[in-house]
Structure 1
Amino acid sequence: MRMEVGATGGGVHVAGVDIAYDDAGPKSARTTLVCTHAIGHGARDFELLRDRLGGDHRVVAFDWPGQGGSGPDDAPPSSARYAEILAAFLAKLGIERPILVGNSIGGAAAFELVATRPEAARALVVANLGGLFQRNAMSRLVTRSFARFFEAGARGAWWYPRAFAAYYRMVLPQPPAHAQRARIVASAREIAPILAAAWRGFGDTTSDLRPLAPRVQVPVLVAWAMGDVFNPLWGSLDAIRSIPHARVVKLRAGHNPFLECADEAAAAVRDFEADLPS
């Protein structure tokens, strides 16, 4: 079922992984958007955004390893590993100076890549990215608790599919996301091991991106879904304020504004792009 959430276009082998991707819009467009999704999701998270921007933008979206139509990876999911895959994907497709658009761990991967390789992108648009939240006893408890929840799903706990569906009603509450939410929920057991591994990593010190924030020199649009009960904006504000060229727009969504309120997200991207240096 996991393939239904992801890309249906092409495929490339990068960084030791078979990556599925979609590539839409004019190849001659002035701006290419490269879109990276949340853990356990897929490239179809960006279908609605593509519908609104694809007329005059090239919009590329791909699936992380073991998700959507992409093959498995020997390495566990992390923003560092995903930044490596993102860099290899851009090089393979010959995409130069795109605007990287990322949600959750996808945003964290794009953020980490640009912090260490500023030439990799013209700008960033990130929504509810991980890695910038305050680290304390409560955040460690939350990440451990979610890791155990998904581990139970990987073991085949009888109650897990119903609990996972209830969880996703909070993650993606807005009606435009319901079709993709249903596809994600249908893959609950299949995707549980990757979710468990990711959440174990979210609590690790290596996932802390706050020291990198002052090093991100490209313009950054932080498009925050204000209904996010697991990663609220206030927990990341200090780190966001340390990004040299960042602006914040607050959007009505649970975790993914590109999927849940695509009209508003597309408008925010256009406004942001209009102010970018040529």
Structure 2
Amino acid sequence: MPYATVNRIELFHEDHGSGQPLILLHGWGTNGQVWSAQAEEFAGAYRVVVPDWRGCGRSARPGGGDTIAGHAQDVLALAEALELDRPVLVGVSAGAAIVLEAARRAPSSVRGVVAVDGPGYWPAERKAELLVELRRMLRTDRAATVRQWVVDWYGPLADPALPEWTVQQILAASDSIDEILSDAVRHNPRETIGELQVPAFFVHGRLDAEIPAEVSETLAELAPRGEAHIMEESGHMPHVEQPAEFNALLHSILRRLAAPGAARDARQD
């Protein structure tokens, strides 16, 4: 089994193909399975690394470190352990916040970043209120709460089997991952996105009921080398809901990142 020891824990990861490396990072509670369509598609031309977060999938469950900063450190340490040369970091949902933070911390180690339906900013009071209620519900009846929540992750055109498939991944994860939900209350990427030195592509499903597409549009404007791409018929998980359309977009982004001068400005065609 492919494991790497990073930050004193064992991270499970799949590692396919060769060439320019990509790291595909899942979001809260799920695991690398959510990137299956991308791993298969891109392994023919890229080295595709798909890790499970600490506490998720087949990775170790240390019961701590489940913060945006902690997971960002894990991603960077994994890239170093696998000797990946300036990988492109792709993350969805909370994974998007993690890869943006990793790129901000270590721009010389990252070629570019693709943030998919990442979290952003809401009125702090409302955010805190919702989080307290969510965590209470997770403690009271985790399975029912997760099922009620996840159904809203997917748009109306998504395969109806996807919510339960996602729920099963989350219920199999450690409940220590809930720590990152508290971290999300304090997370406001507008405060640090201006420090990002690498090209950043913000992909968002227009029908995302969890995080409005305007979050990605705003962050793309604030990022020095940012660009937004809206998938009009997707919800919170566009890479799973519309894999062919998402893969075509990611192919285009990766070609641009490989072009001469790509590091100067993501907005330049």
How many angstroms does 1:190 deviate by? 4.5
How many angstroms does 1:241 deviate by? 1.4
Q: Is the 8 A contact 1:37 1:43 kept in 2?
A: yes
Q: 1:21 aligns with which of 13, 23, 33?
A: 13
SS in structure 1 at match of 2:173: helix
User: 1:109 corresponds to which letter in structure 2?
Assistant: I
Q: Is the 8 A contact 1:101 1:107 kept in 2?
A: yes
How many angstroms does 1:108 deviate by? 0.9
Deviations 1:140-168 (A, max 9, x none): 3223322222222xxxx3xx423422322
SS in structure 2 at match of 1:275: helix
Q: Is the 8 A contact 2:55 2:63 kept in 1?
A: no
1:257 corresponds in structure 2 to 238
1:137 corresponds in structure 2 to 125
Q: Is the 8 A contact 1:219 1:246 kept in 2?
A: yes
Distance 1:88-1:192 versus aligned 2 partners, 3 A rule: closer
Q: d(CA) in 2 for partners of 1:266 and 1:186?
A: 25
2:263 corresponds in structure 1 to none
How many angstroms does 1:198 deviate by? 2.2
User: 1:169 corresponds to which letter in structure 2?
Assistant: V
Deviations 1:31-87 (A, max 9, x none): 211111101000111111122222212211000011000001242411100011011
For residues 137-216 of structure 1, the aligned pairs below 5 Å read 137-152=125-140, 157=141, 160-173=142-155, 175=158, 178=161, 181-187=163-169, 189-191=171-173, 193-203=175-185, 205=186, 207-216=187-196
Q: d(CA) in 2 for partners of 1:162 and 1:139?
A: 21
Q: 1:238 aligns with which of 197, 218, 241?
A: 218
Q: d(CA) in 1 for partners of 2:58 and 2:160?
A: 20
For residues 54-93 of structure 1, the aligned pairs below 5 Å read 54-93=43-82
Q: d(CA) in 1 for partners of 2:15 and 2:230?
A: 28
Q: d(CA) in 2 for partners of 1:148 and 1:99?
A: 37
Q: d(CA) in 2 for partners of 1:273 and 1:189?
A: 33
How many angstroms does 1:97 deviate by? 0.9
Q: d(CA) in 1 for partners of 2:237 and 2:160?
A: 9
Q: Is the 8 A contact 1:41 1:68 kept in 2?
A: yes
Q: Can you give the 5+ residue segments of structure 2 that lack an aligned partner in the other structure?
A: 261-269
For residues 90-101 of structure 1, the aligned pairs below 5 Å read 90-101=79-90
1:221 corresponds in structure 2 to 201
Q: d(CA) in 2 for partners of 1:256 and 1:183?
A: 13
Distance 1:52-1:18 versus aligned 2 partners, 3 A rule: same
Question: Aligned residues, how many?
Answer: 257
Q: Can you give the 5+ residue segments of structure 1 that lack an aligned partner in the other structure?
A: 1-8
Distance 1:87-1:256 versus aligned 2 partners, 3 A rule: same
Q: Is the 8 A contact 1:150 1:192 kept in 2?
A: no
1:42 corresponds in structure 2 to 31
Q: Is the 8 A contact 2:137 2:145 kept in 1?
A: no
SS in structure 1 at match of 2:192: helix
Q: Is the 8 A contact 2:92 2:117 kept in 1?
A: yes
How many angstroms does 1:189 deviate by? 4.5
Deviations 1:207-232 (A, max 9, x none): 33322101112111111122221211
Deviations 1:177-210 (A, max 9, x none): 835x43432355543723432212211x3x3332
User: 1:261 corresponds to which letter in structure 2?
Assistant: Q
Q: d(CA) in 2 for partners of 1:109 and 1:35?
A: 11
Q: Is the 8 A contact 1:177 1:260 kept in 2?
A: no
For residues 100-115 of structure 1, the aligned pairs below 5 Å read 100-115=89-104
Cα RMSD for the two superposed structures: 2.1
1:4 corresponds in structure 2 to none
